[in-house]
Amino acid sequence: MPVFDKHELIYHHIPKTAGRAISEWLGEADAHIGHLPVVGIEQQLELWDSKKFKFLPDRKTYRSFSIMRSPEERIRSAFEHIKSTPLESKCQNGNLRKQYQKAFSGNFNDFLLSEDILEIIMSKNSTLLYPLTWMFCSDSGNVKTPVVLSPDFVLDFDNLEDDTDLMVEKLKLDVELKFKFKRTPREIETLSNVAYTKLRYLWNWDFKIYDFFLGNLHIKKVL
């Protein structure tokens, strides 16, 4: 989760949502504490607010934001990223692909129907595929009624250039260049009804969080 003191912003970086491009656009982060759930960010802010770090600015006052991407697109992109990771790689994605080579040998539809899909999602190496309850819910184990912890505003992945322009205008951001984002074109196979039903079931709360955040916290609505 990059922290930008210059802009007084905290970026809740959801994997596969143009995070690297956004971070480069905003400039070098003053702190980068990895992918953390909101609860972890709040704990870190309390630590920074302690006497031990009294030399730091008051980061508890910073606005926080995130970028929302269609759950199907995001999970598909994560799958493709892991599938393209060399088997000899020692990173999380390489270890996950190596452990479940059969699941990552076919297309996205086949992956969703894999007998190992639930085990894969729960793997410690599966950060890219974790459901959003891990990041935005205070109790990700309570899948029926998790308490959702939201950022202050969100941007829409499908309209990222327009939304970043609005972000500059509303927050008076001092950035050197206009944000430019090129999506990688790729052929996308249509999911079977069974595979899509499996996707909706396994990432059920991702769809709910996506709809709620864009419907209520989009930058046009709250700033």
Per-residue pLDDT of 56-106, as tens digits, reads: 899 999 999 999 999 999 999 999 999 999 999 999 999 999 999 999 999
Residue 171 has pLDDT above 90, yes or no: yes
Residue 139 predicted with pLDDT over 70:
no
Determine the average pLDDT of the residues in 150-174: 97
Determine the pLDDT at residue 147. Answer: 66
Residue 185: the pLDDT is 74
Over residues 162-168, the mean pLDDT reads 97
The model carries a pTM of 0.92
pLDDT of residue 142: 54
In percent, the amount of the chain with pLDDT more than 90 equals: 73
Residue predicted with more confidence, 149 or 14: 14
Spatial distance between the Cα atoms of 19 and 65, rounded to a whole number of angstroms: 12
What pLDDT was estimated at residue 33? 67
